[in-house]
Amino acid sequence: MAIGIKVTQWYKNSGRDLPWRETKNPYLIWIAEVILQQTRIEQGIQYYYRFIERFPDVFSLSSAPLDDVLKQWEGLGYYSRARNLHAAAKTLAEELGGKFPTTHTELIRLKGIGPYTARAISSFAFGEATGVVDGNVLRVASRILGDHSPINEQKYRKNFQAAVDSWVQGVDPRAFNHGMMDLGSTVCTPTKPACMICPVEADCVARQEGLEAILPIKSKKLKRKVRFFNFYIYKNEQAEIAIQQRPLEGLWGGLWEIPNEEIPHPQWEKQEAGSEANFQFSFKHVFTHFDMMGNVFEASSPNHANSPSYTYISTDKIPIFAFSKAVLKIFHRLGIL
């Protein structure tokens, strides 16, 4: 029996029940897929319901101010996802009349929609017979094929994509792709895979050759970069704090923040920022590609209030603005949120 049939039948009997799997609405599928990038399902479900309640369709999303979209995204991280959602929604609403393209080759032209998301929308919403390949599916495919190519290197991705594309032909694309994802999440796990209950055990080269613990292969990552910052809580005479909005592009694009500066490591180690600024604490925040080490200082001197980029707000107004997790972490540590 072909791999595609086995995976599809297994999913129909054992697949997970998730809210975005109950719809063929491309907008809802799109939102779910973007939220779940770099996000655990348990956390993502909460954001999914909150986001679609606030923006139930592409027109409500496209017409909303970007600040509102970022506020709904607050805490999820990777804020370029929210900015790209907003931009693509405008294209869909204003240029395409709210209608989604039906193939992954057309969907990928929208801002922020990459190969994975394009295939997910076209498969789950429109039934396109294309494989949806995420990290879990790469692991399953690597083991089934007995392929020693590093799955985290883009140049080998097309080979895995071609294999999954071949397996999905002639079966229900929705059931097959959901099944592959679920196999990776619940059966073909990174360690101690449950091969005895896997529907494709007999087809799996890794199982036949005893390579379950070896595959998939990942090439070694470069040493993580560490960057050092000082953050400042500046207060005016009304005890309001200074915040400023970041440029749309780059780290935390479009979000609000407290004043900060990137500094050399030796300077950061000294935990000093002038006689008027009092050191409070240090913290670490982890990004995908680097670690941030931060020092936090407080200052009430009016000398700090001169920047035209600052907006001063009372602490009870903090929930109105969209801040990064790192800045929210600072507010919580200081007891002002």
Domains in the chain, please, with CATH?
3-208 (1.10.340.30), 225-334 (3.90.79.10)
Residue 81 pLDDT greater than 80, yes or no: yes
Q: How much is the pLDDT for 304?
A: 57
Kindly give, in sequence order, each residue whose CB lies less than 8 Å from that of residue 152, ignoring residues fewer than 6 positions away.
218, 219, 221
pTM above 0.75, yes or no: yes
The percent of residues above 90 in pLDDT, for the chain, comes to 82
The tokens of 24 are what? Answer: 């063929």
Q: Name the least confident of 113-122, 186-195, 229-238.
A: 229-238
pLDDT band for position 288 (50/70/90)?
confident
Among the options 22, 33, 237, 272, which is catalytic?
33
Mean pLDDT of the chain: 93
Do residues 67 and 74 touch, judged by C-beta distance below 8 A? no
Residue 151 pLDDT greater than 80, yes or no: yes
Edge-first strand order for the sheet with 260-263 is 260-263, 225-234, 290-299, 278-286
Residue 63 pLDDT greater than 80, yes or no: yes
Residue 165 pLDDT greater than 70, yes or no: yes
The percent of residues above 70 in pLDDT, for the chain, comes to 98
Q: How much is the pLDDT for 248?
A: 87
**What does the alpha-carbon distance between residue 182 and residue 137 come to, in Å, rounded to a whole number?**
9
Residue 201 annotated as catalytic: no
pLDDT band for position 37 (50/70/90)?
confident
Q: How much is the pLDDT for 199?
A: 97
Q: Name the least confident of 5-19, 60-74, 290-304.
A: 290-304
Q: How much is the pLDDT for 307?
A: 73
